[in-house]
Structure 1
Amino acid sequence: MAARSSTRQRGRPRGKRIAGSVATLALASSLLAACGGDGGKPTLNWYVNPDGVDTFKTYAEECSTDQYDIAVQQLPSSATDQRTQLARRLAAEDSSTDLMNLDPVFVAEFANAGWLQKIPDELATEITDGGDYLQGAVDTVTWDDGVYAIPLWANTQVLWYRKSLAEAAGLDMSQPVTWDQVIEAASSQGGTVGVQANRYEAYVVWINAMMQGAGGAIVTDTEAGRDAKVELDSDAGREAASIIQKLADSEAAQADLTVSNEGTSLGQMFPEDGPGEFMVNWTFVYANYKGLIGAPGGPADEQEFEDLGWARYPATVEGEASKPPIGGIDIGLGAYSEHPEWALEAGQCITSTDAQVDLAVNDGLMPSTNSAYDEVAASGEFPEDLLDLYRTSVDEGGPRPKSPFYSQISSAVQSVWHSPTSVTPDSTPQESADFLTEVLAGRSLL
């Protein structure tokens, strides 16, 4: 999923900037824009999430042609609200929805509903078999033996931490660490553990990653639709619940655990007093802190910034490889667009190597292709070992369930597993499995 941080500092894109008048027009009514106003050339509407908007605006201008303009329309902040707005438009066969930024979990749902153009065979083969796209990114755009979106950036989570905190706790970060070890290390030194445990999509990301790290899954056989097999009441589900319970009951739990999100724990890494934290979060974190050196919420100086460490996502079970979450953004092409060929052309332009590199350098949103990663590495903006960690985490990570009913799956899990302070391995996995089974069968409402 897309990372959010109101404190993120952006660099200057390499491309030209959009003038204020063009940016204002880009946010005008989508229906008016789709008609080209009063008879001018057509405008393709590109619905974007709030991350990297300045870079999106740059590429909307640069990818416009003599035949069409591209207008940026901003979606709400949360992935759930983004899905709702897009689904309403597409269910109404809205011809003004030409391109859209999609959280990977919504590709299967939208494709299954017939709301997305299927990517033509030549480009689909380039994505799946060309060797440039990271495998984790490829997996997010495929459904039912077809490709239904173009990867833009491929997000993942890593474990961010203060090196001094880990050293004081005697935790060897050169080796894989478990959730239990991280919680115990933070507790022993008066530090904290930052997670996303509010009642929203990122909480499911955490639960899913821990279950996959224990060899399980929330659901399996997802192509069976409502008949998918619910696997929450399992050893993997109980392992995940045990970790949540352990953190909630520990001194390492942050005060706002029950409403925590991607942004709330950022300020806990470099507090004025205290040893800092261990935190699971997305790739934007490095660029965020680098841009905040000497500013509120960031490291006090370069020396303190050097105390920021990173490691692979914590393991659920000692000795078993973790499954880092996979997120990011894919570009979907609206099935009802009046200009499908132009939308495809525009989609390829806004997912170009240059665009991916600018999103990484300006916004900390990492590429979906190896060629773009190579350019990001050559820029010197990020440590090479961090970029290697990102790539490995995407390729070896775990996606959320790929299902046309993912929205119901996610909401059902959230409703039972929240609040994290009420989670127990004895009851939560079974209760949530029973409820999700009823929801999928249509016998219970969310």
Structure 2
Amino acid sequence: MVTSRPRTRMLALGAAALCASSLLVACGSSDKPVLTWYINPDGVETLTGLAERCSTDQYDIRTELLPTGATDQRIQLARRLAAEDDTTDLMNLDPVFVPEFANANWIARMPDDVAADLVDDDTLAGIAETVKWDDGVYAAPMWANTQLLWFRKSLAQQAGLDMSQPVTWDQVIDAASSVPGASVGVQANKYEAYVVWINALVQGAGGDIVSDTEAGTDAKVDIDSDAGRDAAAVIQKLASSPAAQSDLSVSNEGTSLPAMFSGPGEFMTNWTFVYKNYEPTPDNGITPEQYDDLGYAR
């Protein structure tokens, strides 16, 4: 059985505004202050080790797990912070939530000297922008991720699809449909990752969902366009094809994972955690030969 370990495109570490901006001040009242760090279920071993190494004689850092889905993570943190929960000190955030939390004054603005270390000339411009709000830095970039198209090499070969060349969604859907039992896995439940897929489809067709985003509520909505209609056509084609997985309308990062090594396999959009997830272990039953059959395209 393949287990799901979904990962967002990027994670940032924010400090709750309920505490003082210095991380040396905890919201607890024990003899030795304890900072609670809410972490994603992805990379738990690494993050727990980091919490242990960063604990000092002045304070300890303990970790608490968030739900697996980005939307559920946001809901839990938002409820805690809105209720002024004094045990929420540090948190991992999907970057799309940093502006919301900063605007609500739920996370602290980093002092200028700390911000200068967190976002410097070595930080990629796109990543640096995800932790900023209103000219301030509100989180520390932790790691970035990207969505890839994963596939079984043997499936692509059987379907006659050359994955060393650029391919279209029409080609991918047609290829999977031509092989009995093959499928296309996506994230199409009504949540954040579905928007990611739609955005990728629209941008791939040369358009944007919105433009002039710096205008805030006055931003221009552009999805009613040829690119938007092309994106919708891809979703419609997949939904009505033999390649559609049975749980398409509620699919997420984890639901399509088992299909990769079931029958002829699948083409699947997903994050880079997939590669480690499929690494053969005594528990997941994946063989080295199957692992070698795993391919990806950007």
TM-score tier, shorter chain, comes to 0.7 to 0.9
Letter in 1 for 2:153: K
Cα deviation code 1:99-152 (max 9, x no counterpart): 111011101111122222222334434444422x34443232123333221111
Question: Which of 277, 288, 298 in structure 2 is aligned with 1:288?
Answer: 277
Look up the match of 1:421: none
Please give the alpha-carbon distance, in whole angstroms, between the structure 2 residues aligned to 1:283 and 1:310: 10
Q: CA deviation at 1:268?
A: 0.7
Cα deviation code 1:283-326 (max 9, x no counterpart): 1111111144x655x53x212211110110xxxxxxxxxxxxxx
Look up the match of 1:143: 133
| Residue 271 of structure 2 corresponds to residue 278 of structure 1 | no
Look up the match of 2:190: 199
Letter in 2 for 1:110: F
Q: CA deviation at 1:59?
A: 1.9
- Relative distance call for 1:54 and 1:244 in structure 2 (3 A) is same
Question: Which of 196, 202, 205 in structure 2 is aligned with 1:211?
Answer: 202
Look up the match of 2:226: 235
Please give the alpha-carbon distance, in whole angstroms, between the structure 1 residues aligned to 2:111 and 2:28: 26
Look up the match of 2:47: 56
CA RMSD of aligned residues (A): 2.1
Question: Which of 270, 292, 295 in structure 2 is aligned with 1:306?
Answer: 292
- Relative distance call for 1:282 and 1:248 in structure 2 (3 A) is same
Letter in 2 for 1:114: N
Q: CA deviation at 1:161?
A: 0.5
Question: Where do 1:366-445 residues align within 5 Å?
Answer: none
Look up the match of 1:83: 74
CA contact (8 A) 2:173 2:184 kept: yes
- Relative distance call for 1:295 and 1:65 in structure 2 (3 A) is closer
Look up the match of 1:34: 27
| Residue 245 of structure 2 corresponds to residue 254 of structure 1 | yes
Letter in 2 for 1:121: D
Look up the match of 2:8: none
- Relative distance call for 1:35 and 1:6 in structure 2 (3 A) is same
Identity of aligned residues (%): 67
- Relative distance call for 1:236 and 1:200 in structure 2 (3 A) is same
- Relative distance call for 1:127 and 1:179 in structure 2 (3 A) is farther
CA contact (8 A) 2:185 2:268 kept: yes
For the residue of structure 1 that corresponds to 2:267, the secondary structure is strand
Look up the match of 1:173: 163
Cα deviation code 1:17-59 (max 9, x no counterpart): xxxxxxxxxxxxxxxx83243xx11111111122222332222
Letter in 1 for 2:36: N
Q: CA deviation at 1:7?
A: 5.3
Look up the match of 1:101: 92
Cα deviation code 1:346-384 (max 9, x no counterpart): xxxxxxxxxxxxxxxxxxxxxxxxxxxxxxxxxxxxxxx
- Relative distance call for 1:7 and 1:247 in structure 2 (3 A) is closer
**Structure with the higher fraction of residues in helix conformation:** 1
| Residue 255 of structure 2 corresponds to residue 269 of structure 1 | no
Question: Where do 1:120-139 residues align within 5 Å?
Answer: 120-131=111-122, 133-139=123-129
Please give the alpha-carbon distance, in whole angstroms, between the structure 1 residues aligned to 2:280 and 2:77: 33
CA contact (8 A) 2:3 2:277 kept: no
- Relative distance call for 1:151 and 1:291 in structure 2 (3 A) is farther
Letter in 1 for 2:277: N
- Relative distance call for 1:197 and 1:257 in structure 2 (3 A) is same
Cα deviation code 1:43-86 (max 9, x no counterpart): 11111122222332222221100111112122233222221222
Q: CA deviation at 1:162?
A: 0.6
Look up the match of 1:328: none
Number of aligned residue pairs: 276
| Residue 142 of structure 2 corresponds to residue 152 of structure 1 | yes
Look up the match of 2:23: none
Q: CA deviation at 1:212?
A: 1.9
Letter in 1 for 2:207: G
Q: CA deviation at 1:174?
A: 1.5
For the residue of structure 2 that corresponds to 1:34, the secondary structure is coil
- Relative distance call for 1:205 and 1:277 in structure 2 (3 A) is same
| Residue 177 of structure 2 corresponds to residue 187 of structure 1 | yes
**Structure with the higher fraction of residues in strand conformation:** 2
Q: CA deviation at 1:218?
A: 2.2
| Alignment TM-score, normalising by the size of structure 2 | 0.85
Letter in 2 for 1:248: A
CA contact (8 A) 2:280 2:291 kept: no
